[in-house]
A and B are shown apart, each in its own frame.
Chain A
């Protein structure tokens, strides 16, 4: 008889014992089940850039978007900043941790190469880590005492990084840099990286949310496109009228569905005088009438009017924003989506434009979001790291990297003009940022990811109609309140 287990019996164990041992060995494994794994992609202001599969030539880094000769010419023409912080007297390497993206990787490689001409003793080494893995990788690195010299941060991570001493304060370096114009950054852009009067990072982009609309869908419906006079009431009414079709052909009136996530307050509630959390993020006020009433209206638009994608429809679009698939009439999204829409493949291009987000009884508000770079507390070359960071996030750096819209106000118009956008689009983006853009109401304290996870299942039940809005908000408040103590 050919028994595959039989050979083991000669060791003095019978099959029952062998099977028992195997089962027990397997039972001892659960604690090892915590390795890194695949994750769903998080939304983020700079996460829309696709990763480049090209191998970057370190001697001549370039791509179709950024030819080498043009990049070098641009770099040489820009007014790079100076600082009293001394240059290193011997060769040092400054590691810069970035997230991937066609623009980022090639541009950073070009920056590193051209930068060396101006600072021969500073070698820049770029570390690229996917957005979804970035925070995990560098927090665990910090726990073992290893960090790059200069490190990226998304707006939601900033306060957590600062609280955990991952970043060095920049104020002393800024004091040594007379040309550094702090006022060139908008207040909102700096706010995510300030704590106790100190500044810890310098922004890359600082983008307001805008109202995008699909001209083709409006034209087909014979409806008038939105403009600055629109209110949220008018938008809801229009969204009801613009929804059409079913299944894969369905056109949604509006996206996204309001949820208790990072900028719910600034995007959907402030215009009606409502808030999710108080400004210091110590108390949940989402149950109060101003917030409750407006969220009820949105859920009616979702459940009764079916004008927004439900959970199944969200999966049906593979979590890609329906607007970018030419399936959404109206969309409130960040200005960073301008680049996404401009770089859609030719066969996916459609006619779109944008305007101001609608106003409400309490006025017009839009969240301003973005990313930044800071010098880490584990850097071995803080002076050299500042020389790199100061260049990277200077007016010249913002122009070189074409940040959209840039945190540096002095580079704002030129960067948007470089994208060949209409003047009206540039003006709207600029006005949004300056006139009513706010960082108030955007979740930023350390409990943020946990808070979002905790409220998600509750809100999904509300979105599916199995839980009333009142009960959902009550449960959100009950779950969120104890957690806010962690934000002290």
Chain B
């Protein structure tokens, strides 16, 4: 059956309004992705024509010890950063969900780090994590413990970066806050009548009802952390002793420092596959713990 004029007109309008996004996607996202895939099979030093090398870059990648160091660091940083970010932002959202005077001010304060410039954040945290006069080691020192050399000790550099990135997870906190406000009050009332305490209500009502949002923030946070490189570049440049060399930074180095675009594309695609693998794993595990209202 032929579509009515109204349907055709709506379809035309839909395509017209979608056109800017479509053009943007084709030229600035989809196109570069395809080009980078092709380049990953070439030796391309930017100023000369790409030379087809087949799977050489991938073979070289598998033999590259720094790639494996970067992969291990990326997984470590991604998992730790995403988990810490979810725990912190959920806890912050729970506290900010309590109705009390000045709530908006507290929400603004907690969210503010998310809108501060990345470089300002990095400069601030270089000082906060300073082994001698940094705030973190000062607070640890109050407990009578000598704090580690954050960012200067290979064993503590990634934990230091995780602490910093956790501080900037305000967006996840906003999503949690929105999610918390969507949990039916009737469920809490029923639990309360049944004699459930705050921990029991949290464990048996809040967590199950929030599990899709927790899952969302975990997946998105993990993907974001796997791609992180800018602050790491500024704060440690992959050091000390490659302890914070992550794949995003490795891509940057090969692309814009050594101008080996072919190998940089290969690393980028390895990162892409890493993201896909971990996302698929998370979706697989999600069946066991994520509760959806609509099946």
Contacts and interface: CB of A to CB of B under 8 A. Distances in A.
Contacts of A449: 257-258
A171 B212 CA distance: 70
A112 B78 CA distance: 51
A143 B48 CA distance: 8
A30 interface: yes
Nearest to B217: A19
Contacts of A456: 239
A311 B240 contact: yes
Interface stretch (B28-36, B101-109, B197-205): B28-36
Contacts of A82: none
Interface in B162-194: 178-179, 181-184
B255 A34 contact: yes
Given A16-B292, A23-B279, A6 B182 contact: yes
A136 B256 CA distance: 6
Nearest to B127: A318
B275 A142 contact: no
A453 B257 contact: yes
Given A28-B33, A40-B237, A457-B241, A22 B251 contact: no
B239 A460 contact: yes
Contact of A19 (B152, B212, B251, B258): B212
Interface string B201-231: 0000000000010011001100110110110
A318 B132 CA distance: 12
Given A33-B229, A315-B151, A464-B241, A14 B130 contact: no
A28 B32 CA distance: 12
Contacts of A4: 178-179, 181-182
A37 B220 contact: no
Contacts of B269: 31
Contacts of B80: none
B283 interface: yes
Interface string A209-220: 000000000000
Interface stretch (B6-14, B88-96, B118-126, B138-146): B118-126
A3 interface: yes
Nearest to B279: A27
Contacts of A3: 182
A38 B182 contact: no
B171 to A, nearest CB: 12
A39 interface: yes
A139 B233 contact: no
Nearest to B243: A457
Given A1-B184, A15-B294, A23-B279, A31 B36 contact: yes
Interface string A159-177: 0000011100000000000
A147 B212 CA distance: 51
Interface string A1-20: 11111100100001110011
A461 interface: yes
A31 B234 contact: no
Interface string A120-154: 00000000000000001001101100000000000
A39 B47 CA distance: 23
A55 interface: no
Interface string A323-334: 000000000000
A132 to B, nearest CB: 11
Q: Which of the listed residues A38, A139, A318 has the most CB atoms from chain B within 10 Å of its own CB? A: A38
Contact of A460 (B29, B212, B241, B279): B241
Contacts of B131: 312, 315-316
B133 A248 contact: yes
Contact of B268 (A30, A40, A164): A30
A37 B233 contact: yes
Contacts of A64: none
A183 interface: no
Given A30-B268, A164-B47, A450 B258 contact: yes
B283 A2 contact: no
30 contacts: A1-B183, A2-B181, A4-B179, A5-B178, A5-B182, A14-B292, A14-B295, A19-B216, A20-B283, A23-B223, A24-B279, A27-B275, A30-B248, A30-B271, A33-B268, A33-B271, A36-B256, A37-B233, A37-B234, A37-B252, A39-B233, A39-B237, A140-B46, A143-B46, A248-B132, A312-B149, A315-B130, A457-B239, A461-B154, A464-B154
Given A36-B256, A37-B252, 13 more contacts: A1-B183, A14-B294, A19-B212, A37-B233, A39-B237, A139-B47, A140-B256, A142-B47, A311-B240, A312-B153, A315-B151, A457-B241, A458-B241
What 8 pairs between A and B have smallest CB-CB spacing?
A3-B182, A457-B242, A312-B152, A4-B178, A14-B294, A23-B219, A37-B230, A460-B241
